[in-house]
Amino acid sequence: MRSALYHGTVVHRRLRPKPHRLRYRVFSLLLDLDDLPRLGRDVKRLVHNRFGLFSFHDRDHGPGDGSLLRPWVEDTLRAAGISEPPARVAILTYPRILGYVFNPLSVYFCHDAADRVTAVLYEVSNTFRERHTYVIPTEGGGRIRQECDKRMYVSPFIGMRATYRFHLRPPDAAVTVGIRQSDPQGPLLNAVFSGRREDLSDAALRRAFLRYPLMTFKVIAGIHWEALLLWRKGAPVHRHETAPAVPFSVGRSVSPAIEDSGP
């Protein structure tokens, strides 16, 4: 199996109008979509489309109707103007734990036959049960730098006139997913997940359950707790805007010469 587990931390640093910082220990799974039929067999503690200690459900992603994700990825790439189908696709995401998950961001890495990442899909979900995917081709190997205009409401403390800039270290021995969010006045938020790889196994999942007990429940609780802290600091609140009818938008690569700074 190409799938793996990544132990790491999520760090957010809001720069304005009210400075705020958070840091949480988490783990993510990197699941090769071609490995999904083997879940529950080769790795018994992680099952596919049924209840388990850990599980991955197709309906938590993509079109949300439970259909297979590989065809959805290929259809989305074509609709975005990327005609070459990927040789393989891997998703970096949280699993369901005891049947529950909320994924603010899941990242799909699309590889060619030489195992180079040729496109990335950023699947963003908000607490209004809306989802939008940013589809961005890459410009080659190594570190990936991309950007797109914000199309879906996420945080009540950040308006819609914003831009995301992504900086990625594709999954290998380690992985990094970094996001800088800016508006016309300048930088607003730096966020990053950094993790170290562990082979996916029943023993690794058992250790993860003990190390991060009920992690996915803590994710949604943490979102609301941090929102309360920001509200108490006096951060202005932006009214919810309905997600666009088109479920994806296309971003662009940016020059690798641009310096990245962590949060």
Measured CA to CA, the distance from residue 127 to residue 130 in angstroms comes to 7
Strands 163-169 and 248-250: unpaired
* Domain that includes residue 159, residue range: 4-253
pTM more than 0.85:
yes
Buried b vs exposed e over 39-78: b needs ≥16 C-beta within 10 Å?
bbeebebbbbeeebbbbbbbebbbeeeeeebbebbbebbe
DSSP assignment letter at 183: E
Residue with token string 């108490």:
232
62 within a domain of the structure (yes/no): yes
20 within a domain of the structure (yes/no): yes
167 within a domain of the structure (yes/no): yes
263 within a domain of the structure (yes/no): no
Measured CA to CA, the distance from residue 177 to residue 115 in angstroms comes to 19
Whether the bond between 17 and the residue before it is cis, its omega within 30 degrees of 0, is yes
259 within a domain of the structure (yes/no): no
At residue 142, the pLDDT reads 74
Contact 56, 36 (CB under 8 A): yes
Q: How many domains does the chain have?
A: 1
260 within a domain of the structure (yes/no): no
Residue with token string 């997913």:
177
| Residue 263: Cβ within 10 Å count | 18
At residue 90, the pLDDT reads 98
Contact 80, 250 (CB under 8 A): yes
CA neighbor of 92 nearest in space, from 14, 27, 30: 30
56 within a domain of the structure (yes/no): yes
123 has which bridge partners? 106, 133
Task: pLDDT tens for the chain, 263 residues: list them.
Answer: 799 999 999 999 999 999 999 999 999 999 999 999 999 999 999 999 999 999 999 999 999 999 999 999 999 999 999 989 999 999 999 999 999 999 999 999 999 999 999 999 999 999 999 999 999 999 866 789 999 999 999 999 999 999 999 999 999 999 999 999 999 999 999 999 999 999 999 999 999 999 999 999 999 999 999 999 999 999 999 999 999 999 999 999 997 655 444 44
